[in-house]
């Protein structure tokens, strides 16, 4: 078992919940937890460490070939729940996941990595660390494969950067390629509690926070423009790493979710495998890489 120190930063999450870009599926189901967090309530304590395992895979043939005599070790890194940039009282952050990926990639005894994903997505600012860690692994010549049950939005963005994506079972789902902006306007609540918030911007800072300020007044054009810029990067990354994706098919790049059979036809995944099969597949890929 490998242990990674976590990096808690609840203030960053507080900012993201109040006014951040999110690439997450079924975000409405997260609202009770989000509002509980904004009220200062928590649903647990931040774990001081994150753990992942390395599984030994014996690839020797019946004749016991010398090249594969030593069992290969494949790191299995779980990515579950909502993905935030940093760790919080109820999430593991992308910075910690990335640290785990890099540690596995640097370990000479580990030949490949499987990201075991069960996530509806997360905050946009989490993707950079994950992309960099995956690219780092690939630059070292080590395969990195995604095994997915629910793999939506930012979680799919992460998986799409891997060498392959395999769904776990016929009821698994992938997709939700799209984004939304979450803004919490608690002005009335603050007023009721006796607070008066006064914002004064310098004459030279007319565009500072303009999209957010306009959104509070019901004008969304500028904030949609900001969001569209990020969605375009999402589309670009998926197309670059999954060149056979049918981007013009209905729903693929407009936020729809797909079950494995249709997802494979659309080029969103490579097929369906159990976690154990993914581990073996990653080890075989490593063997061919060498």
Q: Per DSSP, what are the bridge partners of residue 151? A: 119, 174
Structure tokens at 198: 């006064």
In a domain, 206, yes or no: no
In a domain, 208, yes or no: no
Task: Determine phi and psi for 160, rounding to 5 degrees.
Answer: -65, -20
C-beta of residue 94 within 8 angstroms of C-beta of residue 62: no
In a domain, 89, yes or no: yes
In a domain, 80, yes or no: yes
In a domain, 78, yes or no: yes
In a domain, 46, yes or no: yes
**To the nearest 5 percent, what fractions of the chain are helix, strand and coil?**
40, 25, 35
C-beta of residue 182 within 8 angstroms of C-beta of residue 22: yes
**Which residues, other chains included, contact 208 with Cβ-Cβ below 8 Å and sequence gap of 6+?**
201, 202
CA distance 287 to 290: 5
Q: What is the pLDDT along the chain (290 residues), one digit of tens a residue?
A: 788 878 777 767 666 666 677 788 766 556 556 656 666 666 556 667 889 999 999 877 654 555 545 678 999 999 998 899 998 877 889 999 999 999 999 999 999 999 999 999 999 999 999 999 999 999 999 999 999 999 999 999 999 999 999 999 999 999 999 988 777 777 777 777 787 778 888 888 888 888 888 888 889 899 899 899 999 999 999 999 999 999 999 999 999 999 999 999 999 999 999 999 999 999 999 988 76
Q: Where are the beta strands (DSSP E) in 30-170?
A: 49-57, 72-80, 110-119, 121-123, 144-152, 164-167
Q: Are strands 144-152 and 173-175 parallel, antiparallel or unpaired?
A: parallel
C-beta of residue 129 within 8 angstroms of C-beta of residue 24: no
- Total domains, the chain: 1
pTM metric for this prediction: 0.86
For residue 25, the domain's CATH number is 3.90.226.10
In a domain, 93, yes or no: yes
Domain that holds residue 177: 2-185+232-289
In a domain, 197, yes or no: no
> Would you state the pLDDT for residue 255?
94
Cα–Cα–Cα angle for 85, 115, 93, rounded to 5 degrees: 15
């Amino acid at each position: 078992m490998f242990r990674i120190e976590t990096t808690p930063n609840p203030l960053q999450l507080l900012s993201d919940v109040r006014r951040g870009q999110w690439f997450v599926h079924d975000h409405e189901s997260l609202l009770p937890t989000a509002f509980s967090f904004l009220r200062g309530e928590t649903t647990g304590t931040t774990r001081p460490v994150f753990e992942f395992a390395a599984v030994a895979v014996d690839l020797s043939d019946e004749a016991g070939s010398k090249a594969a005599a030593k069992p290969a070790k494949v790191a299995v890194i779980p990515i579950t729940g909502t993905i935030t940039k940093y760790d919080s009282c109820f999430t593991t952050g992308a910075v910690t996941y990335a640290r785990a990926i890099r540690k596995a990639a640097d370990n000479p005894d580990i030949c490949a990595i499987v990201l075991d994903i069960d996530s509806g997505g997360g905050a946009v600012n989490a993707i950079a660390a994950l992309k960099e860690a995956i690219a780092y692994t690939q630059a070292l010549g080590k395969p990195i494969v995604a095994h997915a049950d629910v793999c939506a939005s930012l979680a799919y963005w992460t998986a799409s950067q891997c060498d392959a994506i395999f769904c776990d079972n016929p009821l698994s789902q992938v997709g939700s390629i799209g984004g939304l902006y979450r803004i919490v306007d608690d002005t009335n609540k603050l007023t009721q509690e006796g607070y008066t918030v006064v914002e004064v911007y310098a004459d030279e800072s007319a565009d500072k926070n303009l999209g957010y300020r306009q959104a509070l007044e019901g004008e969304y054009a500028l904030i949609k423009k900001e969001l569209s810029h990020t969605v375009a990067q999402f589309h670009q990354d998926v197309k670059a790493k999954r060149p056979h994706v049918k981007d013009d098919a209905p729903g693929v790049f407009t936020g729809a979710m797909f079950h494995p059979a249709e997802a494979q036809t659309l080029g969103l995944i490579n097929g369906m495998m159990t976690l154990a099969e993914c581990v073996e597949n990653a080890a075989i890929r490593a063997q061919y890489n060498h």
